[in-house]
Amino acid sequence: MALKIHGIPMSTCTARVLTCLHEKGLEFELAPVNLSVGEHKQTPFLSKNPFGQIPVLEDGDLTLFESRAITMYVSKKYKEKGEDLLRLKGDDLKEQAMVGVWVEVESQQYSPAITPIISEYFLAPMHGKTPDEKVIEAGVEKFGKVLDVYETRLCQSKYLAGDFYSLADLHHLSYTHYFMKTPWASLINSRPHVKAWWDNISSRSAFQKVSQAMTFGDKK
């Protein structure tokens, strides 16, 4: 039975999972969730994710939420297929540990800094609100400091966990894709190693397939 993803391609967290599925060369079914009518806050969906958020993965009788947990599961279950995103085929515990470190850094440092900028810039106007400049200013300052660490790290290795592409890099794609459409894209572009890394990972065919549908915020 094919994997089933509940979500929408424009959503960052859904896109994270879809990118992983493409990297692994897996077939899947995408079941759209109608956020505008609050489908994700109603009983059938809440039985899949009690927090009422997308994405959700169904694999037979297993139901998972949290995009990073889903990519982890997929990368482990299909370790022999497609890109080895967790370095499981080799026996190098150090490489696997470094993937673990940078998966955590994305979740604990990068994401908390970048998310408020994206939310204020793209989502506030959608809800009829003016973006809160103070939140954006604080986010930009925080994100700049995180990116300084990334610049240093990416001077040492081509990718975050080492000289190999991994789930750690993949997890950054969807939020950064939208960030690059904001007026603060220079935070990435002005750091040469971060920019080279971004150009490299965002041009992978798996993400190209997903990013085509990530049109949120595009001028009509």
**Candidate segments 49-57, 87-95, 140-148, 195-203, binder of ligand GS8 by CB under 6 A:** 49-57
Least distance in Å: CB of 151 to ligand GS8?
26
Question: Of all helices (H) and strands (E), which one includes residue 178?
Answer: helix 173-179
Query: For the CA atoms of the chain, what is the radius of gyration?
Result: 17
**Candidate segments 63-71, 123-131, 133-141, 147-155, binder of ligand GS8 by CB under 6 A:** 63-71
- Cis amide bond preceding 192, omega within 30: no
Pairing of strands 56-59, 3-6: antiparallel
Q: Among 58, 66, 132, 151, indicate the residue that binds ligand GS8 (CB under 6 A).
A: 66
- When asked if residue 176 is in the footprint of ligand GS8 (CB under 6 A), the reply is no
Q: Among 54, 118, 161, 187, indicate the residue that binds ligand GS8 (CB under 6 A).
A: 54
Is 71:17 a contact under the CB 8 Å cutoff? yes
- When asked if residue 19 is in the footprint of ligand GS8 (CB under 6 A), the reply is no
- When asked if residue 13 is in the footprint of ligand GS8 (CB under 6 A), the reply is yes
Distance between CA atoms of 15 and 180, rounded to whole angstroms?
A: 16
- When asked if residue 136 is in the footprint of ligand GS8 (CB under 6 A), the reply is no
